[in-house]
Amino acid sequence: MSSTASTGWVIALTPPEWRRWLLTDTPQSRWQARAGRAYLGWAAFARNPLAMLGLLIVLVLIGMAIFAPLITSYSPVVSGDTVADRFLPPGGDHWLGTDGHSWDIWSRIVYGSRTSLLIIFMVAITAAPVGIIIGTTAGYLGGWIDTALMRLTDTFLALPKLVLALAFAAALGAGMENLILAIAITSWPPYARIARAETLTVRNTDYIAAAQMSGASSLRILIGHIMPMCLPSLIVRVTLDMAGIILTAAGLGFLGLGVPLPQPEWGSMVADGRSDILNQWWVCTYPGIAIFIVSLGFNLMGDGLRDVLDPREQ
């Protein structure tokens, strides 16, 4: 049998030996132990057919966003003959038809995937860090800091997320940046609640007490010991919230407070075709189907990740 290199990074093993190397009870390095846990997590995830379906949908969405110029023949923002090409039904050169601006609907759905992914990514990297910082700080320090931060969190949670996002979007105005900011402002409270709950379960453990006795500062304990313990739960919550982010962005776009035309965005596409839904049903139907499928994909993938990462399921 081949052996691993001294660094543990270069491995010359056949596929069965790879599996034995990953599943060994005596890992030779921290990297090997982490790789083994990741392999077990993937194996558990892959046994869930609905989770794999969700992952496939998300991968297709990412592929559409990356290879959009290769899988579309028309520009999503440049219209053709505004008279001859308006409201063409699905078929022929336009697979999903055209809208009232002579834009090809398939092209706008494909390029709209880029807009959706950008909104999801920006909201996730904005709201999740804010939530984990507020939640872990409140849970670890306690006292009046905990009270003040949690009452602020409760204030945001008291109002429906879409209504609150609508208020912020109306105040900030239409535009991609304002849309992302409005959704991010309303998305952090659940993450703060989860992070606080996780912090309360670990702040009195022996390894936190050992870190305190060794002279570690509160900031070092928060960043180095408590926040990593909160990540699995937050990753699951962020994945499940991605469907909600898409729906919120689509709702704001439908109300005219999202991404302005001519930039393709699924919610604004639905709004653009709602007045012609009886005669030109395809204009708003296909973007609505895209929203439904992608939201379903993120929910299924999030459920699979929850089953894998939830320590109560171990």
Residue with tokens 């007490």: 209
The phi, psi pair for 25, rounded to 5°, reads: -85, -10
**pLDDT value at residue 222:** 86
Q: What is the pLDDT of residues 126-161, one digit of tens each?
A: 999 999 999 999 988 888 998 999 999 998 888 888
Q: Per the structure block, which two tokens stand in for 112?
A: 């709209």
Percent of the chain with pLDDT over 90: 23
C-alpha–C-alpha distance, residues 186 and 196, integer Å? 18
Contact residues for 40 (Cβ-Cβ < 8 A; gap 6+): 23
The domain locations on the chain are 60-68+114-314
Q: Is the pLDDT of residue 310 over 80?
A: no
Topology of domain 60-68+114-314, CATH: MetI-like fold (1.10.3720)
Q: Please report which confidence band the pLDDT of residue 5 belongs to, taking 50, 70 and 90 as the band edges.
A: very low
Q: Per the structure block, which two tokens stand in for 125?
A: 């990297």
Q: Please report which confidence band the pLDDT of residue 13 belongs to, taking 50, 70 and 90 as the band edges.
A: very low
Mean residue pLDDT across the chain:
83
**pLDDT value at residue 12:** 45
**pLDDT value at residue 59:** 94
Q: What is the pLDDT of residues 162-197, one digit of tens each?
A: 888 888 888 888 788 888 999 999 899 999 999 998
The string of DSSP codes covering 25-68 is SS-SSHHHHHHHHHHHHHHHHHT-HHHHHHHHHHHHHHHHHHTH
Q: Is the pLDDT of residue 264 over 80?
A: yes
Q: Is the pLDDT of residue 57 over 90?
A: yes
C-alpha–C-alpha distance, residues 183 and 216, integer Å? 36
